[in-house]
Structure 1
Amino acid sequence: MHPRPLSRNLWQALSARGYLLSAWPWRAVAYLVTGASAGALTLVAITAAVALAGVLAVVLVGLPLLVLTALVGIPVARLERHRLRLVDRAPAPVRPVRQPPATGPWAWLTTRLRERATWRELGHALLFALVLWPLDALVVVFALAVPLHLAATPLLMATAGGGEEAKVLKQWTVTTWPAALGVAVLGLLLLALGAYALGLAAGARAELTRVLLGAPHEGGLDTRVVELTRSRVRLVDAFEAERRRIERDLHDGAQQRLVALAMTLGLARLDAPPGPLADQLAKAHGEAAKALEELRELIHGIHPKVLADYGLPAAVADAADRSAVPVDVTLELAGRLPQAVEAAAYFVVCEALANLGRHSGAARAEVSGGHRDGRLVLHVRDDGRGGADAGAGSGLTGLADRVSVLDGRLSLSSPPGGPTLLSVEIPCEPCDPCERTGPCA
């Protein structure tokens, strides 16, 4: 016999056999009870905040407090998203958060107030505080508390009534044991029906929460978009790790073998007498030297060691030194940045310098930028003929996609006659060397 698969959510559990003997009725009770408690606390908090803001409005302190009250929906929504785990085994939905354009509380506040999700969550908090939590409490009372009270009639008769009578729901009196047992059986039947009623109520309540908060279903479009974005970030990190591994293997393996081969051929040339053999050895030695030089260029293009060891400013300066066009570099960074950010910025600069060397006809170029307001900002400017098109096979389209994975932006301004300006902005924060493999906050 194959074991039955575990139900992933409350709706699946309701339609499966063994629902009454599973943990799902208790999870439904926990969802409704915590909802009633959280809703009551939300009502108290909103009422107190509005009342305090009204009192302090005389001295103009209440107005900022009233604005902050509009954000009460954010923690309430966060709690509600986590409470959904009681009726759904899927991971808790994550609120899509827009990054503030700058650091500091004012930038965070203005960004949150401009988001539609903030006002949806405020509306949900008001509905939760005024309407939903009393309904949760009523369902628990009628579907759980009343049947339990009926089922406990014999116990009440034996304790509170002295074995002679029991008050049922404070409405009628039971004076015989057969009647008390009958009421208890009725209570157990109602308790079984109430377990299904609690499941239906908790499931409907969770669906309403998802609709009000825009919380994505498992497998829904929103979840797929979030997972796609995360997978793209993981692919970029994996790609960078693979580039570093290839660079390390080529540097420590093939390059060392070519160096040894070139040295052996050079020694053989010295020992060989003049003639055809010496000429062939000289030719082979020259080809080995060329192959070694090309391999070093290849390694540098895969992942330059100067970028890994000394950071973005040194790597950009090295790229500028190798450019066919004179380049002035003004790049100021206080510390190291995440590896993915440094790599994306470096290769954008290299591609831009390669393009202007081949197509722009520029006499001079400039790379400038730094870290400002939580963003890495880079500008590559040249005095060439202009007319560059990022979508015309320049290689910048793929780099723009790579920057966008990091929530960055790449823009190109190149009117005919010039000048050409390529700008890159990537949100990030400086990292300690030990933290550079992960995202920095």
Structure 2
Amino acid sequence: MPTCENGGAPLRQSLNTLAGVALGSVLAIAELAFLLVAGLGLLPIVAAPRSRDRVVGFVHRCSRQLTALGQRRLARFHQVRDLGPYSDRSAFRYVARHWPAGILGGLVVLLLLFGLIVAGSMLTAWIFGGEWAFIEEDGNRVSSATVLVAALPGALLLYLNVMGIVGVAGLDERLARRHLTPSAEEVLSRRVSELTLSRAEVVQVVNDERRRIERDLHDGVQQRLVALGLLLSRARRTDDPERAAALVRQAHEESEQALDDLRQVAWRVYPTVLDQYGLRDVIAVLAERSSIPVTLQYDLPTRPPTMIETVAYFVVSEAVTNAAKHSNANQIAITLTPTSEAPPSSGTAAAPIDVPGVVVTVTDDGRGGADPTGRGLSGLASRVAAGDGTFSVHSPIDGPTTIRAELPCG
């Protein structure tokens, strides 16, 4: 069975290429009609300059729609899926330059169909007689000599025609990549904007973390230290040895609880055991401490960098905490898997071993309805964005809730 599937893959790819070129020719006719209408639409601008914005806006909207159709066609039939983002002007330039290639592709496809019809007609006339054919010879029948003489040039023309279809498909892809992919300057400008926004989000996250630490210290550790001081003060003032001993025991319990609360605050700030034991063991401990049963699937082949481990830990920790507090879930599933591709190697002997990115997914079977704009989840999104990762929350009403973060390690 695998052999049949592998054998059918080239044929399927060839049919996809043929269908993509044919649809591109149909789209080219629409593009040519649009350009003619757009050219006529420029005439009112000369007479009424105030209409310029409306006309240009209409042209750009139509260009966007036609380009979107072409982009879906390229993705479906030519496996070109990494286009965009692009501007309105780039979309218009692509439409203006694509239609000749599309018309050429339509002519090549029509020539192929004509050649197949002629070849089929000749073969049917050779086998069955002239009543089935468009070509007749020697009493309504094509001779074997004629078929043999026509076979060689026919095969050559078929080869040239197929290469023409492949060439048009390649030209189509090159046009799309030239006009529908951002230039180096656009990529750099967008990257600067993203980094500026990410820096502001990181500052906001740091401030939120500081407020949370202050709140944890004030509501937890500080209150227990105050209670500890009151118990010791009462023990000093009492004259009853038994009561003094009981108060000291209570003070000792409060001191242990305060120390445990302080450890919890420090753990939430940064789990130092992450450096010592690694992400797998720390998340396993987190799962054991959860009030909801947790299943863990850890499939990372190598240990990620420290920054990625830290972000992944906080994603899991916050997701499990939210599920325990708000979801009424009965089960939580945590998976850590590598992304499909590893970053390219630097090629130097001293370079570290390349590892793929990390995909963190936390799913609970609770009631759903999680708000991605809430303080906790938005803080996680900022953490992930600061590491060039992507973060998503899918939480329909009645659940399940899925929190997913993809963290690149390159």
TM-score calculated relative to the size of structure 2: 0.41
The structure richer in helix per residue is 2
